[in-house]
Structure 1
Amino acid sequence: MHIGIDLGTTNSLIAVFRGGQPELIPNPLGQVLTPSVVAIRDGQLVVGEAAREIARSAPAQAAALFKRSMGTDREYRLGGTAYRAPELSAMILSALKADAEAHLGQPVTDAVISVPAYFNELQRKAVRAAGRIAGLNVTRLINEPTAAALAYGLHEREGESRILVFDLGGGTFDISVLELFEGVMEVRASAGDAFLGGEDFTEALARHIAQTAALDPHDAELRPALLKLAEQAKCALSTAPEARITAEVGGQTLDQTLTRDRFEEVTAPLLARLAVPLDRALSDANLSPGEIDRLVLVGGATRMQPVRAYAGRRLRQLPVSGVDPDQAVALGAAVQAALVARDAGLDDVVMTDVSAFTLGIDTAHRRGDRWHAGYFAPIIERNTVIPVSREETFSTVEPGQTELRFGIYQGEAPVVADNLHLGELTVQVPRNMAEHEKVKVRFTYDVSGLLEVDVTVLSTGKKASLVISQLAGEMTEAEITKALKKMKALKHHPREDAANLHLRARLDAAFAMARGPSRPWVTGLILRLEEALDAQDPDALDTLRKDLHAALDRFEADHVR
């Protein structure tokens, strides 16, 4: 079975293409959004909503937002063990895989996983590694805006139109410009910011709340409560002109009123960062805002009114509706999975994509009477339709030179030191004292993200191909094998107990937030749950869970309204 996965910074989703349409697969709680949070509790791995609640009451026991560390060596400690971002992401993917198998009643082996369009090669390799650790064969990585447009594109098989996909998720921002015509979906340009998302808006608002109350926004004990209040206020402002924040934090009572205008002022630096990727994508597509036929907003963060207003103002139109912004990427990934599997329901759909970054080599330039190395020579420009093969000719610097060393880079900076180093290739050339030896360098880049580099010495016909050396932050085969063993050794919390675990974690988080008479009240709720668990009456337990969740909803609503 081939499935599509939206591996998000804040939430993840999984979908399958059946009966000619993509459909979302629920988790054990009956929800399609699974928080991208993992925790170790009592020696057991906890994933999703329960892990998010644990993160609020005991942040040292949980890890979140690790998607931003993909492709780096950063480690997170859980249960006395260090994990890197691909390993933590594999825990999310493994849980999604289990949900799909329980829902579909058959094994799931193949997956298309979405990635931010602006993820570089190293980050994409980390996502592939996460899939392998989770026991998935990752058949394709699909850019998130492209996946979202594909979900919409199923309904647009007639006529022509230019679409701009404005994708602001929890941790990343992407822009893609696409053209649809007669079942063909062509990506014209992509741009983005891999470190800008809804979580940054929450962080900015949490700092504002703390500073207004003369609290330290960096206090580790206060941060969970401040971030929760900020998230609640941010969501409230999506549907109301103002939000009132009342809570006990840091030994004092907070009573603040936040308006949309003030929220926009607090997050102005973040809103300003939306402009550069948007301008670059339009420029690369050679289009003006007025030439965009439709604006598609994707990602939960686009529910924020300042973001919606900014996008509408810049594109001079209201966004189209019809697909939930949280769900579009997963639905599109399922469509791509069906395309890879050659589903008969998609015989008339064709999709092309582009390279998000420029690919090239380092070269030397003469300044005065000396050669200076370290300059970037593009071979495949960003936003070139893939698959693609491009070739350029280069020569030795000095007559008599017997070796050419090519550094392979990805990026947009003129100096290679500011770009991502992908690998190195060295080729031997004849000693020629009379003239410079010439070589042709060919880059071939496909839709799966595979880059092949071939160098041909023109005078001899000798060829050499790129063998990419180990990149800093990339997991080796030995590390992936070790991670697989770590995953198998972890005790996974039973899926059938997920509802009880989630409720208990939520009660613990409420107890940590509460003060004064509220704490005995929460303790009473915990005792009621434990008594019901001891009685083992499924019907009574189901009724109690609904009652306790409703009580907690009212408790949390008292903090932001």
Structure 2
Amino acid sequence: MYVGIDLGTTHSAIAVLSDGEVTLIKNIHGDYLTPSVVGISDNGEWLVGKTASERLVTHPDKTVAEFKRYMGSQKRFRLSDQSLTPEELSAIVLKSLKEDIERSLGKTITEAVISVPAYFNNQQRQATFNAAKLANIKVERLINEPSAAALAYSLQEQTKAEATYMIVDLGGGTLDISVIEVMDSIIEIHASAGDNYLGGANFTDAIVDQILKQWQLNENQLSSVEKSKLLSLSEAAKRKLSSTEKTTINVYIQKKLHQYILTRDNFEKMCKHLIDKLRRPILRALQDSRIEISELSGVILVGGATRMQLIRSQIAKLSSQLPMTQYSPDLAIAMGTAIQANLKSQNQSLSDIIMTDVCPYTLGVEIHNETNHPEFLPIIERNNTIPISRSRTVYTKHPDQKQVNIRVFQGESFNPKDNVFLGKMIIDLPKSNKIEEIILTYTYDINGVLEVESTIMSSNRKDKIYLQNDNQLTEMQLATWSAQLEKLKTLPKDQEKNIALLHKLERLFEENLGETRTYISNMIQKLTLSLDTHDHSNVENTVQQIQQELQKLEQ
């Protein structure tokens, strides 16, 4: 049986779907939400969830939270005499969630769909796979959190009217923005953007910083218990502002009672820099989707941090409409993962739901430009619908070059070192004493498999590697994925519509004379040069321009 797991930064949740209805699973405490907190007792036993959360203030050296923010990094967390990675801590939470599911359903669970922030890169997704593996859970698929929310929305609304929504997913530690189109049980993700280091915790930290500044206290001089107490009270005050205009924080620090009055107005001022960070991915997602704010049918809020009145008012100002808050922001993602889990198991009751997704980051290769400086060459650009295959042409640097090192990166920066390194492929070159033309083809599917294929044009020799969210690919997996990905790999020059357009231009060249023939000749050259780049985006733009020119010519 497949289950859905929302592995959150501050809270996690689990759900299953049966007979078309989503059932949220309660933990051992009878709650739907399990704090993503891990601790170690005085007797050396692991504590998870609510039990560990209760000790964050009293035993800060033996308790840790918000480790999801560091998934895929080298950071380690110390708990008493233990040192753990974010993956190991996440595995402890997942194991606890697995026990809750099995206790509730009375059966062993080994497979699940787990949600991740849409803006997680491949290293962070890999870390999530590793955590699940440590918890003895087989991940059938990772689903982007906004996509899961879209599925939950689709099931609840069951609308057949065409509508476009922006999903704002602000959790405890991450922000995801997705622009989606929903029509007749079809969900199309147009664009995603986000910030892996912006969440509700940052707004709490802003309160702490302001309090320390007003009281002229040095954080480094506070004890770990005092820091935890101040953080806990600031979090409670932040939540209280959702229902009141002001609240008071009273805390003993260094044996002295300190008082701070927090109002909505000063909270908004101290969080201005965070609101600016929130706006940027919203505008990027809209820009990438080519959709204006005024064209949105609504804004759906997901994630516990969207309960803040500050966030809701800012979203309302930006979108010129009240955000949709009728869905439980804390549980929508868990519900969506359960729906995806049943789609994965080909549940007949959901067979009519179709969802597309996008590649949130650009995938490319490191090249050296004319000044011999490295730069990032995009091959699959962000927010393209997946599965997708794209090709670009690169050239060797020297005629006597013996090898080429293909270094694969993921990110948006011009400098490769500022992007995420995914892997490399070293290919041997033929002895030709000339500059070699190499076609690089990237093929990316919904399971996170990236195939990188190189073709040396002079010899037609092909080499390929697979980069994916798992430790190793078995021979059987390689064969299966190779067959699936092969269907996607058609160069622009081999696509039927482009061949047809070229043939049409050649026919028109034969039929015409004089200036018209010269005009058509220029179009043929333009199309041929564009097709030779193997750049899908370049070809699509050129084809569109030529078709417009032909329409004028035929009028």
The aligned residue for residue 425 of structure 2 is 425
1:471-510 correspondence runs (5 A): none
CA distance in 1, matches of 2:74, 2:165: 37
Cα distance in structure 1, aligned partners of 2:325 and 2:53: 30
| Corresponding residue for residue 172 of structure 2 | 170
Runs of 4+ in 1 over 4 A off after TM superposition: 474-477
Normalising by structure 1, we get a TM-score of: 0.81
* Paired amino acid for 1:422: L
The residue aligned with 1:545 is none
Q: 2:250 aligns with which of 234, 242, 246?
A: 246
Aligned 1:317-328 pairs, distance under 5 A: 317-328=321-332
Map 1:267-306 → 2, pairs under 5 A: 267-306=271-310
Aligned to 2:206: 204
Does the residue aligned with 2:57 lie in a helix, a strand or coil?
A: helix
Counterpart position of 2:382: 382
Cα distance, 1:416 vs structure 2: 0.8
Partners of 1:468 and 1:291 lie apart in 2 by 38
The whole-number CA distance in structure 2 between the counterparts of 1:416 and 1:245 is 46
Between the aligned partners of 1:54 and 1:236, the Cα distance in structure 2 is 22
Quote the offset at 1:431 in angstroms: 2.1
Number of the residue aligned with 2:503? none
Q: Counterpart of 1:43 in 2: which secondary structure?
A: coil
Amino acid corresponding to residue 432 of structure 2 in structure 1: N
Partner-residue secondary structure (3-state), 1:3 = strand
Which residue does 1:127 correspond to in 2?
128
**C-alpha contact (below 8 Å) 2:449/2:466 kept by paired residues:** no
**1:234 aligned onto 2:238:** yes
Deviations 1:390-435 (A, max 9, x none): 11222212223222111100000111111111111111121222x4
Partner of 1:216: 218
State the Cα deviation string for residues 18-48 of structure 1 (Å, max 9, x = none). Answer: 1202121000110011000011101111100
Secondary structure of residue in 2 paired with 1:326: coil
Between the aligned partners of 1:292 and 1:468, the Cα distance in structure 2 is 36
CA deviations 1:523-561 (Å, max 9, x no partner) are: xxxxxxxxxxxxxxxxxxxxxxxxxxxxxxxxxxxxxxx
CA distance in 2, matches of 1:156, 1:476: 39
1:448: Cα distance to partner? 1.4
Contact 1:74 1:85 in 2 (8 A): yes
Q: Does 1:73 align with 2:92?
A: no
Identical-pair percentage: 41
Contact 2:112 2:341 in 1 (8 A): yes
Query: Displacement, 1:269?
Result: 1.0
Partner of 1:500: none
Q: What amino acid is the match of 1:431?
A: K
C-alpha contact (below 8 Å) 1:126/1:475 kept by paired residues: no
Q: 1:139 matched to which residue of 2?
A: 140
1:236 counterpart letter in structure 2? K
The equivalent position to 1:314 in structure 2, one of 314, 318, 332, is 318
> Larger deviation: 390-399 or 36-45?
390-399
SS of structure 2 residue aligned to 1:307: helix
Partner of residue 11, structure 1: 11
What is the DSSP-based 3-state SS (H/G/I as helix, E as strand, rest coil) of the residue aligned with 1:366?
coil
**Displacement of 1:467 after TM fit?**
5.6
Distance 1:301 1:414, change over 3 A: same
Match of 1:412 in 2: 412
Q: Distance in 1 between matches of 2:217 and 2:375?
A: 48
Residues 340-397 of structure 1: CA distance to partner in whole angstroms, max 9, x if unpaired?
A: 1111110110001000100010112214xxxx14111111000010111111222212
**One-letter code of the match for 1:71?**
G
Whether 1:158 and 2:160 are equivalent positions in the alignment is: yes
- The TM-score, its normalising length taken from structure 2, stands at 0.82
Correspondences of 1:324-473 after superposition (within 5 Å): 324-367=328-371, 372-433=372-433, 435-466=434-465
Alignment check: 8 A CA contact 1:206 1:217 kept: no
8 Å contact kept, 1:424–1:467: no
Q: Which amino acid aligns with 1:389?
A: S
Give the Å deviation of 1:466: 1.8
Superposition CA RMSD, Å:
1.6
2:405 alignment partner AA? R
Between 270-279 and 87-96, the greater mean CA deviation after superposition:
270-279
Cα distance change of structure 1 residues 387 and 308 upon mapping to structure 2, 3 Å threshold? same
Secondary structure of 1:334 counterpart: helix
Residue 55 of structure 1: how far off its partner (Å) = 1.7
Asked whether the equivalents of residues 215 and 250 of structure 1 are also in contact (C-alpha less than 8 Å), the reply is no
C-alpha separation in 2, matches of 1:89 and 1:246: 33
Distance 2:259 2:361 in 1: 47
Deviation at 1:312, TM superposition (A): 1.0
Q: Residue by residue, what CA displacement relative to the aligned partner does 1:46-85 show, whole Å, maximum 9, x if unpaired? A: 1001101112101101111110111011111224221100
Query: Deviation of residue 331 (structure 1)?
Result: 0.6
